[in-house]
Structure 1
């Protein structure tokens, strides 16, 4: 979630400070350790990392929201620019007022897809080919919306995008075309009355035949089953009291266990399948308004955008493992 006006900052921090204590951890569950910041980015250049997609070699493709860039960062911290989204004259983007690149998804052939929010006809999903050609818009989404989290279902040939302002999950053919409002409802809507703080559906992941979505204002983690015909099932609330939640990732081989970025409080929480949760990373580990989490094997990647702290946007790596009982 990009930097918003000061009322939203106060709201996010207050919500994070008021986070109720989660249930105590049980023995033998997953935990996170050995955090280290592998890449420090520069706010002065607009380098606030918003979302993340992983490459086969373990490097990470990040969207830098205010720089309108997609970069690749190796596990050793080497960074190179993959693409820059075109500048937009007089952007009228809801929430932030600037053109920002947000969610990212990667296809098996290396093609990248990103959400670009501009407040103009250029708002939508853009494709970034691996041949170095210029990014190309493949779907236009409503200019008054804020397409945030993004996921690709290659088996069905579709992309899903979470719209934070319109409270909608859009579905778009991965080759491009007309978007469909795939899921709507009160559970996806923003709750804050102030325009600069209206952030509902935010993070989005495809997991075990369902689209999972976080709602930042509501502090909830939602699951939307994908029916056999591709339509959306009933929205299920899987966890609550996740105030100022942004994007999230699933711990592999552990069913519905989630690591969620809590941007307001600069924390990452482990969310159990029963909905209880606990903090596993904090600002002391290097987090600075984290926005997204990706997990591969035992490796955990966390982007920190520093939208509110205005301090040290970065990419952090850590290890997820089974905690000893006792």
Structure 2
């Protein structure tokens, strides 16, 4: 049975008493949120939230139609949005981002073949789906800068693409370190993306080698030299931990600059379902680890999104083939960094 483990020196700072908010979960506690999604949105990978608190969970389905489940703040499914496949014949939805003026952006991994990946925009009222950009192989996560440019990680090409508001798509950066690394598991390269508060750096998780890099956003919009921010192996060696950043997947900052990481394959301690939420301080120390107990155990957490004092998590449930597909909720001490420009 896994439990919350925290660095003693920072326990008081991170879990100091906070003002109570109605309906907010207890800080540090992970519980299931809403129903099991296996029947309607199997293997939820992406997650986004709109300003009213509705959640959008995208299905990594490999089906002719992949669904996006919409859950309200009570965890009830209030809508199901079907997304039809493109030329690949199957749709497999990954990262999402909700922009109020545009709707819901979602990435379609399709079948993982070259050029079949798509960036889509969904009207959540009408269910209309617009193809914004194509030509990706393994589009995985989305971030947005203050100029409304979208940044798309491609886990197989070792690249991050930039898509301008008019749909023009360019390779922002491509680097061998963003490729799946030999012998690494899960075998994905560039994955979760997040800008820091000042949008001076774009952070990217590399899943196969359990690392987080950061890339300067230069004044002209180009990518600066990529820098290593955190390495799971280095953290384990320095802090006497295990499984740090194992399977680093979705990432997101809180307002104090702490980076929340879906470590989708971490087992601490084993046995148990794979995955936990790990928190890195601004200086890249591992300061907190969160997991649920019993039926609330996280199961291959892939993506996360803040809303108020809650962190919502999509459980891909990869090892079970989606049987345990679900969302989870974690009470957090501080709100998330706003995503919108």
TM superposition score category, shorter chain reference:
0.7 to 0.9
Report the equivalent of 2:100.
108
1:139 is the counterpart of 2:148? no
1:200 is the counterpart of 2:189? yes
- Residue-by-residue CA offset, 1:48-104 (whole Å, 9 max, x unaligned): 11121111122212212216222221121111335322135765xxxxxx6311111
Q: How far, CA to CA, are the matches of 2:82 and 2:246 in structure 1?
A: 32
1:319–1:42 distance in 2 versus 1, CA, 3 Å: closer
Q: Secondary structure at 2:177's aligned position in 1?
A: helix
Q: How far, CA to CA, are the matches of 2:76 and 2:149 in structure 1?
A: 32
Q: Secondary structure at 1:42's aligned position in 2?
A: coil
Report the equivalent of 1:216.
207
Q: How far, CA to CA, are the matches of 1:187 and 1:25 in structure 2?
A: 33
1:176–1:104 distance in 2 versus 1, CA, 3 Å: same
- Residue-by-residue CA offset, 1:118-147 (whole Å, 9 max, x unaligned): 2375522111124415211111123xx200
1:55 is the counterpart of 2:50? yes
1:116–1:86 distance in 2 versus 1, CA, 3 Å: same
Q: How far, CA to CA, are the matches of 1:84 and 1:129 in structure 2?
A: 11
- Residue-by-residue CA offset, 1:223-260 (whole Å, 9 max, x unaligned): 112111111111121111112111022112x02x1111
In structure 2, stretches of 5+ residues that fail to align are: 16-26, 233-244, 267-274, 335-341
Contact map agreement 2:69 2:79 (CA 8 A) in 1: yes
Superposition pairs for residues 134-283 of structure 1, below 5 Å? 134-142=128-136, 145-153=137-145, 155-177=146-168, 179-192=169-182, 197-208=186-197, 209=199, 210-241=201-232, 242-252=245-255, 254-255=256-257, 257-265=258-266, 266-283=275-292
Q: What is the root-mean-square deviation in Å for CA atoms of aligned residues?
A: 2.6
Q: How far, CA to CA, are the matches of 2:143 and 2:67 in structure 1?
A: 18
In structure 1, stretches of 5+ residues that fail to align are: 1-20, 92-97
1:42–1:70 distance in 2 versus 1, CA, 3 Å: closer
Report the equivalent of 2:311.
300
Q: Secondary structure at 2:10's aligned position in 1?
A: coil
Q: Secondary structure at 2:333's aligned position in 1?
A: strand
Contact map agreement 1:187 1:235 (CA 8 A) in 2: no
Q: How far, CA to CA, are the matches of 1:48 and 1:303 in structure 2?
A: 8
Report the equivalent of 1:287.
298
1:22–1:281 distance in 2 versus 1, CA, 3 Å: closer
Q: Secondary structure at 1:29's aligned position in 2?
A: helix
1:220–1:127 distance in 2 versus 1, CA, 3 Å: same
- Deviation, structure 1 residue 206: 2.5
Equivalent residue pairs, number: 290
- Deviation, structure 1 residue 162: 0.4
Contact map agreement 1:267 1:282 (CA 8 A) in 2: yes
Contact map agreement 2:121 2:130 (CA 8 A) in 1: yes
- Deviation, structure 1 residue 214: 0.4
